[in-house]
Structure 1
Amino acid sequence: MLTDTKIRTAKPAEKAYRLADSGGLFLHVMASGSKIWRMRYRSPEGKEQTLTLAPYPAMSLQDARRARDAAKDIKRQGIDPVAHKKIAPALLRPAHEEVFEAIAREWYGQRRDLWRPRHAHDVITSLERDVFPLIGKLPPSQITPRTVLHVLRHVEDRGAIETAHRIRQRISEIFVHAIATDRADSDPAAVVKPALRPVKRGRQPAITDLDEAREMIRKTEDMAAHPVTLLAMRLLYLTAVRPGEVRGARWDEFHDLSGSEPIWVIVAERMKMDREHVVPLAPAAVEVIEALRPFSDRWPHLFPNSRRPRVPLCENAIGYLLNRAGYHGRHVPHGFRATF
Structure 2
Amino acid sequence: MMIENLENECNQALEDIRENIGTAEAVNIEQKLWKSIQKTHKSNSSNPIVMNYLIGYYNSMHEIVFLNTQQSKDPFLYYSRYGFVSSTATAANLNHQLLYNIHIRLGDLYRYGDSRENAKHYYKRALHLDPTRGFAYNQLSLCTPLTKAYQCVYYSVRALHSTEEPVKGAETNIKLSISRFDCPLFERFRHHLNVTMVDNAITIAYPSNGQEWFYLVVISIHFNDLNLTFDLLLDQLLNTIDCDDKSIQFDYLLMSLDVAFDWILKDRNNRSTTTTAVSTEASAADSSIDNLKTLNIWLRSNSSMANDDDGDRKNETDCHIGLIHNSILKDFAPLRPIYERMEYYYETEIYRMDKHRKILINRLIQKLQKF
TM-score normalised according to structure 1 size: 0.29
Which is strand-richer, 1 or 2? 1
Greater Rg by CA: 1
Which is helix-richer, 1 or 2? 2
